[in-house]
Amino acid sequence: MREKIEKLGAQFREEMSSVSDVQSLEDLRLKFMSKKGYISELMKELGKVPPEEKKDVGQMINSFKSEITSRFEEKKDEIIRLQEQILIQSAESYDESLPTDTLTGSFHPITLVQRQLEDIFESMGFDVEDYNEIVDDYHCFEALNIPPFHPARDMQDTYYLNTPNQLLKSHTSAAQNAIMIKYGRRLKEEGRPIRAVFPGRCFRNEAIDACHENTFFQMEGIMIDKDISISNLIYFMKTMLSEVFEREVTVRLRPGFFPFVEPGFELDIQCLICGGDGCPSCKNSGWLELCPCGMIHPNVLRAGGINTEENPYEYTGFAFGLGLTRLAMMKYEVGDIRTFNDCDLSALSQFVSR
């Protein structure tokens, strides 16, 4: 028995010395230490050893076991250190004196437009809010005056999760209810108007082409107070768009239907390329559709706890849903929406600005 243990010890040391990667180290450990390994075999045989020798042999097995464990740990550290060393040596050397500009990358064009808009709206007293990408049916539709089976849902088919009642938000309007609830008390108790913008990623079940993506960005904005009117909406939109495009823009409103605004509009800007004369970019109309908007529907204000049943018109407000992706396409003259999600650095890194 003693001889057997010594022989196994020698075998272990020899095999250990030729191990050079973590996997074969693990295999070796299992060969000795697993349930069917040599150590278990020795333990079984210990039963047959004459009683006077049992203690000594038992001790031998135990010290062999701890030798295996400690050698195993040592070897593992050694292999990892060695592998790191090899990685460091094979890594490309880099020149510390290179300007960092060439190494740090750039912001995504949508991030650039988003940040620019956030700055503009913050300067006009708006809070910038963040919101979930996974929402429930109530926030995405019902709280926005879109009951189940309403035909307006067809326009916003999205992706539903396996978890009941969870979906990827199809528009940033899904955050309206939460923002109203968050700021409603402040509005009523302190008289501070609600002014908030909330950018976010939106999803729709779309066939993808140069103008349509299943994943895109919007920036929603709402303002609620006493006596807010369409004039306020037009003023804010015009000021904001003039800043984004860095020149005076002309806007017009056309009627547009969205169940959560009444009246609802499509806001167009006069084409910046032809100045309204008509060109291919504006399909010869002289106008570009940019931002759906409108006065928040009384049912939505009620669902958000802003107005009561008894006093349904105490507060009024406007909402707009700016297509951030759309805006980025216009601002940077990007012809194909897919460019933004393609992760093609040669396209995306052209918009460098930090």
The DSSP symbol for 261 reads E
Among 173, 177, 325, 339, binds ligand PHE (CB under 6 A): 173
Q: How far is the CB of 79 from ligand PHE (least distance, A)?
A: 56
Which residue is nearest to ligand PHE, using beta carbons? 321
Choices 135-143, 186-194, 245-253, 314-322; region in contact with ligand PHE by CB under 6 A: 314-322
- Kindly tell me which residue out of 293, 295, 303, 324 binds ligand PHE, with binding defined by CB under 6 A: 293
Binding segment (CB under 6 A) for ligand PHE, from list 42-50, 77-85, 182-190, 318-326: 318-326
Q: How many binding residues for ligand PHE (CB under 6 A)?
A: 11
Name the β-bridge partners of 282: none
Residue 143 burial by Cβ neighbours in a 10 Å radius (0-12, 13-18, 19+): buried
- Residue 128 phi/psi, 5° resolution? -100, 125
Token readout for 251 is 């806007």
CB of 181 to ligand PHE, least distance (A): 18
Give the list of residues 6+ apart from residue 135 with CB closer than 8 angstroms, or none: 166, 167, 168, 169, 174
C-alpha 201: how far from its chain's center? 7
Report the distance separating Cα 145 and Cα 176, nearest Å.
12
Are the C-beta atoms of residues 269 and 249 closer than 8 Å to each other? Answer: yes
Q: Which residue from 200, 294, 304, 317 is in contact with ligand PHE, where contact means CB under 6 A?
A: 294
Smallest gap from Cβ 127 to ligand PHE, in A, equals: 17
We find the least distance from the C-beta atom of residue 80 to ligand PHE, in angstroms, to be: 52
CB 203 within 8 A of CB 168: yes
Select the residue interacting with ligand PHE from 29, 75, 139, 171 (CB under 6 A).
171
DSSP state of 168: E
The pairing of beta strand 287-296 with beta strand 316-323: antiparallel
Round to the nearest angstrom and report the end-to-end CA distance of the chain. Answer: 74
Which is closer to ligand PHE, CB of 175 or CB of 249? 175
Q: Is 319 in the site for ligand PHE (CB under 6 A)?
A: yes
What residues does 201 pair with on adjacent strands? 217
Shortest distance (Å) from residue 319 CB to ligand PHE: 4
Q: Is residue 200 near ligand PHE by the rule CB under 6 A?
A: no
- 66-78 in b/e burial notation, b at 16+ Cβ within 10 A? eebeebbeebeee
Q: Does 351 bind ligand PHE (CB under 6 A)?
A: no
Least distance CB 150 / ligand PHE (angstroms): 14
C-alpha R_g of the chain: 34
Instruction: Write the binding mask 232 to 271 for ligand PHE: x where contact by CB under 6 A, - elsewhere.
Output: --------------------------x--x--x-------
| Site residues, ligand PHE (CB under 6 A) | 171, 173, 258, 261, 264, 292-294, 319-321
